[in-house]
């Protein structure tokens, strides 16, 4: 499973030791694995990553009709652990600690999301890791950060969506805060962590030394406030949940039609004039003449547009909006997304062969790569998420042979 350094994949030849569990850390290391890095996932013996037990839904091999818990795989775990190897190590046992030490000596990157102080108590603090391997890049992902008055708090995604303000701007109204349908703080922390790791590897090429990259669920969630953040920091205006309509652009949002709903994004004055002319509206109506006017009069504008749309089916409305060049879209269910030819064309579905479950279709990576002549060099073959300790013996043998070759 080792990716040769001659591979066109950007991180070919990079070895990552993954000490993480749940989602933020595993998502970060999966992103690095998608880029060609070799990911060795260190798991707790017997139970493995916490997400192996998160379900339902679970899936079982066809030859397990009794559905024994020991045979099952969690779809949650499968979502965040492709392109990895698994070794089970008890970090309180001397023999297993020695295996980890040997891995760390050879690693380029180590990723951890233990609560602050845990690694130090296990004897694997930052100073010790860098003594073993001065070139090691260490990514540390925490809940609330590595310092500050509340750094010791445990961070889980929904807790952070509330604490970091995301739930206050999501939902139908200020009295109806809602979490997102995916663990967005976890996913963002993983993405920022992977980004920081790649930057640290680039810096190591210049300095020859490793470094520590830190991020947190809190930092990731606050960093994506975007214009909702500057509404407060610059304008002194507190954002709140406003449902499915943009707080600063109109018309921009979800509109009912005869048999469902469509979304439109009229993001410029020229688009507004085109949209109005295309549906028999007066673009110069003083109530709606500018975007600012339309935002102020949003409730009236929604009623006016939905009155026009009420005679259109969603399908015919989408066709008309596309004819006019107005950005528009439908609301797809998750199953419809994975049946969409456009999604498949972008490599967003990958097929893998799992050790016990057989052929699986998984959500794929978001990045594609092309050479200067336009030929795609994106990774095509992906490995299924591993069963627990699937690679333990092979990794130990590899370490032994690699160490002998060093002599």
Report the distance separating Cα 241 and Cα 173, nearest Å.
5
- The DSSP call for residue 69 is G
Alpha helix segments (H runs only) across 239-340: 269-278, 291-296, 298-309, 314-324, 334-338
**Strand 358-363 relative to strand 38-43, pairing:** unpaired
210 backbone dihedrals φ, ψ, rounded to 5°: -75, 175
To the nearest 5 percent, what fractions of the chain are helix, strand and coil?
40, 15, 45
Task: Strands of 75-231 (E only): list them.
Answer: 85-88, 109-112, 137-142, 212-216
Residues marked as catalytic: 186
Report the distance separating Cα 260 and Cα 258, nearest Å.
6
Alpha helix segments (H runs only) across 330-388: 334-338, 341-345
Q: Distance between terminal CA atoms of the chain?
A: 24
Q: What is the dihedral of CA 161, 337, 384, 26, to 10 degrees?
A: -10
């Amino acid at each position: 499973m080792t990716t040769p350094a001659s591979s066109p994949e950007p991180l070919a030849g990079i070895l990552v030791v993954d000490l993480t569990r749940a989602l933020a850390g595993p998502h970060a290391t999966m992103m690095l694995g998608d880029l060609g890095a070799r990911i060795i996932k260190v798991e707790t013996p017997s139970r493995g990553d916490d997400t192996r037990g998160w379900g339902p839904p679970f899936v079982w091999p066809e030859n397990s009709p009794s559905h024994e818990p020991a045979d099952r795989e969690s779809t949650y775990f499968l979502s965040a652990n492709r392109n990895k190897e698994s070794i089970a190590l008890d970090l309180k046992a001397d023999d297993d600690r020695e295996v980890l030490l040997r891995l760390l000596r050879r690693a380029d990157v180590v990723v951890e999301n233990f609560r602050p102080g845990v690694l130090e108590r296990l004897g694997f603090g930052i100073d010790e890791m860098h003594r073993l391997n001065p070139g090691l890049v260490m990514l540390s992902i925490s809940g609330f950060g590595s310092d500050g008055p509340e750094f010791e708090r445990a961070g889980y995604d929904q807790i952070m969506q509330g604490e970091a303000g995301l739930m206050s701007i999501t939902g139908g109204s200020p009295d109806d805060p809602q979490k997102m349908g995916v663990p967005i703080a976890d996913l963002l922390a993983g993405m920022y962590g992977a980004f920081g790791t790649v930057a640290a590897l680039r810096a190591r090429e210049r300095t020859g030394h490793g470094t520590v990259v830190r991020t947190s669920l809190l930092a990731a969630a606050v960093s994506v406030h975007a214009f909702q953040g500057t509404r407060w920091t610059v304008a002194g205006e507190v954002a709140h949940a406003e449902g499915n309509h943009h707080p600063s652009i109109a018309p921009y949002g979800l509109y009912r039609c005869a048999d469902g709903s469509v979304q439109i994004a009229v993001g410029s004055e020229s688009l507004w004039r085109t949209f109005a002319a295309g549906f028999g509206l007066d673009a110069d109506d003083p109530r709606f003449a500018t975007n600012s006017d339309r935002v102020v009069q949003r409730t009236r504008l929604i009623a006016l547009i939905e009155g026009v749309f009420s005679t259109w089916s969603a399908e015919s409305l989408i066709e008309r909006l596309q004819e006019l060049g107005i950005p528009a879209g439908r609301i797809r269910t998750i199953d419809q997304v994975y049946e969409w030819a456009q999604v498949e064309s972008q490599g967003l579905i990958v097929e893998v062969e799992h050790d016990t479950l057989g052929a699986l279709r998984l959500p794929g990576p978001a990045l594609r790569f092309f050479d200067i002549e336009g030929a795609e060099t994106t990774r095509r073959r992906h490995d299924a998420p591993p069963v627990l300790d699937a690679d333990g013996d092979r990794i130990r043998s590899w370490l032994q042979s690699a160490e002998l070759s060093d002599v």
